[in-house]
Chain A
Amino acid sequence: MVRLIGTELKKQALRPRTWVALGFLAVVPIIIAVALKLNPPDLSRGREGARYFYLATQSGLFLPVAALRVMSGFFLVVVICMFAGDAVASEAGWGNLRYLLVRPVSRGRLLTAKLFVAAVFAVASTALVALSGLVAGVIAFGWDPITIPIPGLSQSTGDILGNLALAIVLITWGLAAIVAFAFMLSTMTDSSAGAIFGAVGLYIVSLILGQIDSLGSIRYGLPVQYYDAWSDLFASNKFTDDMWRSILLQVPYVIVFCGIAWWWFHRKDIKS
């Protein structure tokens, strides 16, 4: 199993597309840092979201927060869906899947290895945004702790770094349902683009449905309803109930989607 995971990791890591996607995630926070340096935001004119940009200019430690705010809504979702949606479908698209399966390996093991690798790259993607933001922010704006006389906003360096680590986990796991869906689609199609778009589609539909008040309490079961809860870490410095909701809400989706993927892949005729 370790060897199988190793081969899957190498395959993904040596793929040019992986580097393009990760490179993109790493560059955007740097661009943000440069833009803020050249053109510092004015808090008095700012919209709600501008607060993080302003804070980032006060302490570079906050730049990763601003970068995660910008990226987590869409680009990060696409990249993470890409890793999951590619997992099985791209092998099928290359015609290589049948060669992986004409061996004395169980389909379950292959699936597990692929899911594991997709998860590793998902975490790495989120962490990369934060890390790149942290480095760029510290270089541009230093690492002084924020001392604003508003409770919660004032965080020590240790607080901020701890919250960043938590935010990486919350953001990535907050997409677990979407990722599991991408993975499920990946076992069903030979087109990785189809699997990726399908999952991004589910994300967007969930966001839209979440805006419709007349849906009532159904909205609270949508997979990304509490996805943004992580940003409270940097407003209140507390682990809120919505964060717990976001975490727990993923569990049934992940079980169902991965269960279907498992079942489907085991009974699937490999015709590609």
Chain B
Amino acid sequence: MTETAVVAVRGLTKRYGRVQAVAGLDFDVLRGQVCGLLGPNGAGKTTALRMLVGLIRPTAGEARIFDRLVRPGVPELARVGTIIEHASFVPHLSGMRNLRLWWEAGGARWEDADLEGALAVAGLGDAIERRVKTYSQGMRQRLGLARVLLGRPELLLLDEPTNGLDPQEMRAVRELLRRLSDAGVTVLLSSHLLAEIEQICSHVVVMDKGQLVTTGTVRDLLAVSTSAYFEVDDVETARRVLAAATGVKRVTDESPGLSVELDGAQRSALVTALVNAGVAVETVTARHQLEDAFLGLVGRHTERHIGKGA
């Protein structure tokens, strides 16, 4: 473990009966990074984050924050801001009262909270004095971010923070995270949306079925183009032509088109080969490593429709 690892996870495992929610997960988040924890629903993201804040006990392995083994209520948690699943509150109290009671329940003085900064993030205006039970999902999520920021955290652990937000609010969250990151805050946020991670994060940890799939900087993983996707009029001929081309590792069906794993071949050369064989090419898309790592997990077809739009 390097000395700047703010989050360090080693062999982290959580079993629920026969279900392995998290299975031997390893990764680090270094100071100042904005790291995405990317995985399809059920990958174990929430479970991993819960273990990082001491809400649930690992079956095996360990999680550290600020170089301290996480246990329920360890002092380092004062430096962490977290939203797990959705932000939730005491429904019969106002947003403001919720912030204050939550803050004081941690033993801190209300005067020490960064109320101004928090309220600016919540952007709730007069609604801050309304009962939380009257809030929309987006308002709650914003109040949740505000609550997290009261204590000027050094590390943010956010579980799908843009869930339930409209596109405008999503953009605001992205900008907020960028600002916080510029101010030196380390962020680990989970998402099942590749596009979101691409937009927000400097680093990414891809996980599936509780295990690490790949990790690295988003830039590196985006730089390497490892496959291409073709849609053509004559799939059968195209498959033959592509499989015979040099620099092609593998051709797989991916309805309605074909996915081609590249090993040196240029996309343009493949298009030329197809056209020469009388195949009309309708679409060619380059795929990079991150997409490959992630799309392989969730099924490319669905991701193209639900993921890219977000």
**A and B physically associate:** yes
Main secondary structure of the interface of B (DSSP, over half): loop
> Which residues on the B side are within 8 Å of A10 (C-beta)?
97, 101
B101 and A102 form a contact (CB under 8 A): no
How many residue pairs at the A-B interface have CB separations less than 8 Å? 89
Which of A33-41, A52-60, A104-112 is the contact stretch? A104-112
Closest residue of chain B to A14 (Cβ to Cβ) is B93
In the complex, whether B74 has a CB less than 8 A from a CB of chain A is yes
In angstroms, Cα B73 to Cα A107, docked, is: 7
> Is there contact, CB below 8 Å, between A6 and B93?
no
Q: How far is the CB of A3 from chain B (nearest CB, A)?
A: 5
**Is B17 part of the binding interface, using a Cβ–Cβ cutoff of 8 Å?**
no
Known contacts A95-B88, A102-B84: does B56 contact A4 (CB below 8 Å)? no
> Which residues of B have CB within 8 Å of A96?
88-90
Asked if A240 is at the interface (CB within 8 A of a chain B CB), the reply is: no
A269 in contact (CB, < 8 A): yes
User: Is B86 an interface residue when CB atoms closer than 8 A count as contact?
Assistant: yes
B72 touches A98 (CB 8 A): no
Among B54, B56, B88, max chain A CB count under 10 A is at B88
| Interface residue from A3, A6, A102 paired with B55 (Cβ < 8 Å) | A102
Is the pair A94, B84 in contact by a Cβ cutoff of 8 Å? no
Q: Flag if B105 contacts A4 (CB, 8 Å).
A: yes
- Report B-chain residues with C-beta under 8 Å of the C-beta of A47: none
Chain A residues in 8 Å Cβ range of B85: 95
Interfacial residues of chain B within 69-112, with CB under 8 A of chain A in the complex = 72-78, 80, 82, 84-93, 97, 101-102, 104-107
* Residue pair A269, B73 in contact (C-beta under 8 Å): no
Across the interface, do B89 and A7 meet the contact criterion of CB distance under 8 Å?
no
Q: Chain B: how many interface residues by the 8 Å CB criterion?
A: 33
Task: List the A residue with the shortest CB-CB distance to B89.
Answer: A96
Query: Chain A residues near B147 (CB, 8 Å)?
Result: 99
Closest CB in chain A relative to B75 CB, distance in Å = 5
**CB neighbours of A8 from chain B (8 A):** 105
Question: Complex: how many Å from CA A6 to CA B75?
Answer: 22
Nearest opposing residue in chain B for A113, CB measure: B105
- The reply to whether B84 and A98 contact each other, CB–CB distance below 8 Å, is yes
Asked if A100 is at the interface of the complex by the 8 Å CB criterion, the answer is yes
Interface size on A, residues (CB 8 A): 31
Interface string of A237-269 (1 = CB under 8 A from B): 000000000000000000000000000001101
A45 on the interface (CB 8 Å rule)?
no
189-221 of chain A: CB within 8 A of chain B: none
Residue of A nearest to B53 (CB): A102
CB distance from A224 to the nearest CB of B (A): 32
Cβ of B78 and Cβ of A103 under 8 Å apart? Answer: yes
Partner of B104, one of A6, A91, A106: A6
Residues in A whose Cβ lies below 8 Å from that of B72: 101, 106-107, 266
Task: Say whether B174 faces chain A, with CB atoms less than 8 Å apart.
Answer: no
In this assembly, does A11 line the interface, its C-beta being within 8 Å of a C-beta of chain B? yes
Contact present for A270 and B78 (CB under 8 Å): no
Bound Cα distance A249, B92 (Å): 37
Q: Does A158 contact B (CB under 8 A)?
A: no
Q: Do B73 and A4 have beta carbons less than 8 Å apart? A: no
Would you call B104 and A270 a contact (CB within 8 A)?
no
Determine whether the beta carbon of A270 is less than 8 Å from that of B50: yes
Q: Are B91 and A94 in contact (CB under 8 A)?
A: yes
Residues from chain A with a CB closer than 8 A to the CB of B56 are 269-271
A103 touches B93 (CB 8 A): no
In the complex, the chain B residue whose C-beta lies closest to that of A16 is: B92
Query: Which A residue's beta carbon lies closest to that of B86?
Result: A95
Cβ of A142 to closest chain B Cβ, rounded Å: 41
Q: Which residues of A contact B73 (CB under 8 A)?
A: 101, 103-107
The residues in B between 175 and 203 inclusive whose CB is less than 8 angstroms from any CB of A are none
Answer whether A102 and B82 are a contact pair too, CB < 8 Å, given A94-B88, A95-B88, A107-B73: yes
Is A101 within 8 A of B54, CB to CB? yes
B32-90 contacts to A (CB < 8 Å): 50, 53-57, 72-78, 80, 82, 84-90
**Chain B hits for A102, CB < 8 A:** 53-55, 77, 80, 82, 84
Q: Which residues of A contact B93 (CB under 8 A)?
A: 11, 14
Within the complex, what minimum Cβ distance (angstroms) separates A80 from chain B?
20
Partner of B88, one of A1, A99, A105, A267: A99
Partner of A15, one of B78, B92, B106: B92
Residues of chain A having any CB pair with chain B under 8 Å: 1, 3-4, 6-8, 10-11, 14-16, 91, 94-96, 98-107, 110, 266-267, 269-271
Q: Which residues of B are interface residues toward A (Cβ below 8 A)?
A: 50, 53-57, 72-78, 80, 82, 84-93, 97, 101-102, 104-107, 147
Given A3-B107, A11-B101, A269-B57, 5 other A-B residues pairs in contact with their CB atoms under 8 A? A10-B101, A11-B90, A99-B89, A99-B147, A103-B73
Which 3 A-B pairs rank lowest in CB-CB distance, beginning with the nearest? A95-B88, A269-B56, A270-B55
What would be 29 A-B contacts, judged by CB atoms less than 8 Å apart? A1-B107, A3-B104, A3-B107, A4-B107, A7-B102, A10-B101, A11-B90, A14-B92, A14-B97, A15-B92, A16-B92, A94-B91, A95-B85, A96-B88, A99-B89, A100-B102, A101-B72, A102-B54, A102-B55, A102-B80, A103-B77, A104-B74, A105-B73, A105-B106, A266-B72, A267-B57, A269-B50, A270-B56, A271-B55
